[in-house]
């Protein structure tokens, strides 16, 4: 009997991603939130948004919710968030 092992990773496309430079300040910034579509994420983001606005001067928050927690963020959604100064992706289990 043999064991077949499957690799669940997608094949790489294009260049490897690079980390964005750190944000120097959140004062006046726009922050994007990517919700993974699980139960606790919205409550966490409500708290985080309030804290970022009150303590760090965040001007705007753009929230997007993935259609399914097990899939990557759709390209269209990433394009909508591309103008954000910082993005937070959270798991709400």
Instruction: Give me the domain span that covers residue 70.
Output: 30-90
In-domain check, residue 61: yes
In-domain check, residue 40: yes
In-domain check, residue 14: no
In-domain check, residue 2: no
pTM attached to this predicted model: 0.76
Based on the structure, what is the number of domains in the chain? 1
Would you state the pLDDT for residue 6?
74
In-domain check, residue 21: no
In-domain check, residue 82: yes
Question: Buried (b) or exposed (e) across 7-32, using 16+ Cβ within 10 A?
Answer: eeeeeeeeeeeeeeeeeeebeebbbb
In-domain check, residue 62: yes
Q: What is the pLDDT of residues 18-67, one digit of tens each?
A: 788 889 999 999 999 999 888 888 889 999 999 999 999 999 999 999 98
CB 30 within 8 A of CB 83: yes
């Amino acid at each position: 009997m043999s064991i077949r092992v499957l690799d669940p990773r997608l094949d790489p496309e294009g260049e490897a991603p690079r980390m964005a430079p750190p944000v120097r300040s959140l004062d006046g910034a726009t922050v994007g939130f990517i919700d993974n579509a699980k139960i606790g994420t919205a409550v966490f983001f409500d708290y985080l948004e309030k804290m970022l606005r009150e303590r760090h001067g965040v001007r705007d928050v753009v929230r997007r919710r993935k259609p399914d927690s097990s899939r990557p963020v759709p390209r269209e959604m990433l394009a909508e968030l591309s103008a954000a100064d910082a993005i937070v992706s959270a798991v709400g289990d």
